[in-house]
Structures are given as C-alpha cells and as structure tokens.
Amino acid sequence: MFSYRHGFHAGNHADVLKHMVLVQLLEHMLKKDKPFWVVDTHAGGGLYDLTSNYATKSGEAEDGITVLWEYRKDKSIPEAVRDLIKQIGVVNDGDTLRWYPGSPQIAAQMLREGDHLRLFELHPTEIKLLEGHFASVKRGVSIQCADGFTNLKGCLPPPPRRGLVHIDPPYELKEDYRRVVQTVADAAKKFPTGTYAIWYPEVARRESQQLPGQLKRLAAELPKVDWVHATLRVKAAEPGGKGLFGSGMFIINPPWTLYDQLAEALPWLVETIGQDDHAAYTLEAQQS
C-alpha cells in the first residue's frame, strides 16, 4: 500500500479521459448561479511537473497530453478536448507544456467564490504536496488527511445541495473495486441528486472488468438515475496481461449534454492518441 505515485502517470491517456469528463461536468454546473461543492475522494498531489524524474521516467505524458497540446491553437478539434487543453494552459506559460494539473487544481481554477472544494488524500507524501500546493489558499478549499472512501458519506449532502463527487482511487488493492461500489451506494442514499464521476483502469484483472456492470446494477437500484459510461482504449493489452491499456469513466446523474460531447471527442481521441490497431472507445448511456 502507498506505493502508487500519480507523478509517474500524470498526463497519460487515462488522465486525458478522466479530466476531459471532469471539465465538462464542472462547465455544466457553473451554468447555474447557485454554488456547489466538489468532493475529491483521492485527490493526489494537485499539480505535477512533467519535467520531473517521475514523469520523464515513465514518459506516459508523451502519448497523452503532450500529443493534445500540439492542437492547442486548432479550433476544429472537439469542444471537450479544446476545453481540457484550455484548463491545462492555465498552469503553463505560453506554448511551453511543463505542468499538468490534477483534478483538485482543475476544479480549483474553475470554481467561483462561494463554491467549495473538499479534498481527501491518505498517501503520506501526496498529502504534503497537496497541502503545500494550496497553502496560500485561505478559503474555498478544505483538505483532510483521511480515507476518502470512509469519509465521503460524512460530508454529504453538501450545504448548497448541489455537488460533484470525483472518485479516483489508485486501485492498488483488489478491495478498492468493491469499496468504490459500496461508497457510491452509501453516498447516493444520502445525496441522490449529486453527480458521481467514477474513474477506473482497464487492465487484465477480473475486478476491473466487472466494475462497470456492478455500477450499472447499482444505478438501476436508485430512483430515477441516469448514467453515462465511456471507455478509451489506446492499445492492446501487453503479453502476460500487465499494464494499463485503457480506462473508463462511469458518471451517475450526468448533464444531458455529456453524451453528445463524448460522442464527438472519443473517436477523435482514438485517432489521435491511439497507439495500435486495438485502440477503440465505447460509449453508452441510460436515461430514466
């Protein structure tokens, strides 16, 4: 446990999918004047240096955000991709790509005065980075060194009764998959109108393959719940079943615009950052 460091993976294809969806969810919530909360159960360090030893050792950003960055001035790319690149640009200087914002930083730079960002992180190194990153922020952000799975239910429903819950564990342990489902089930009982965005890895592991079906069954048990499920696979699984070849996002109570935005963006991403003939996407939805 605690071996996972997101700095190795920052800006990779999984982050592209995850944060593209996150930006669209935030954009939708910002259309209403009423404030809202964002709760991130596994916040990470907040901001990642793509020139650090962690990032250059893996080189994963080279096949993800680095490719998309070349399209930053192309107005013909899908809107959802363009919106993501815009948020990446907020933390970078001019045309130079050095920094990659994690979900806490993306949310922080999009939220308004009156909105609130609630962050949980348990990793001893990541929590120090997170606290240091937001040290100068005096209001609108609260950080807790705690297990986001365990503590999510206690902060729901948020006072404004509007909220987005981002669930993005490292899935180091098989138990994480089970805990995702149980956490969402418990949270949705307390805050049924909240939007829940759950990321998961596509790896050669039974628990990963079963998770989308478990979330669909959970959603079916909730009253009048819509969902969108999107996956992005960039390559074939490696021999021996090791490695991350894709990822998925399962969104409960999504905005009605999300499906069409992803229908435009996902095929483009397959063509742009797909690494072999096995690159593909899936997109499905359920409306109550």
| Size (the chain), residues | 288
**Residue 238 near residue 203, CB atoms below 8 Å:** no
Amino acid sitting at position 66? T
Beta strand spans in the chain (E): 37-40, 47-49, 99-101, 116-121, 141-145, 163-167, 195-202, 227-233, 246-252, 280-286
Q: Is 115 a catalytic residue?
A: no
Helix axes 258-273, 13-29, angle to 10 degrees: 160
In 3D space, the residue among 182, 202, 262 whose CA is nearest the CA of residue 227 turns out to be 262
**Residue 146 near residue 131, CB atoms below 8 Å:** no
In 3D space, the residue among 170, 25, 142 whose CA is nearest the CA of residue 83 turns out to be 25
In 3D space, the residue among 220, 199, 216, 217 whose CA is nearest the CA of residue 208 turns out to be 199
- How far is residue 261 CA from its own chain's centroid? 16
User: Of 115, 168, 176, 276, which residue is the catalytic one?
Assistant: 168
Alpha helices in 2-77 (DSSP H): 13-29, 53-58, 65-69
Residues assigned a catalytic role: 168
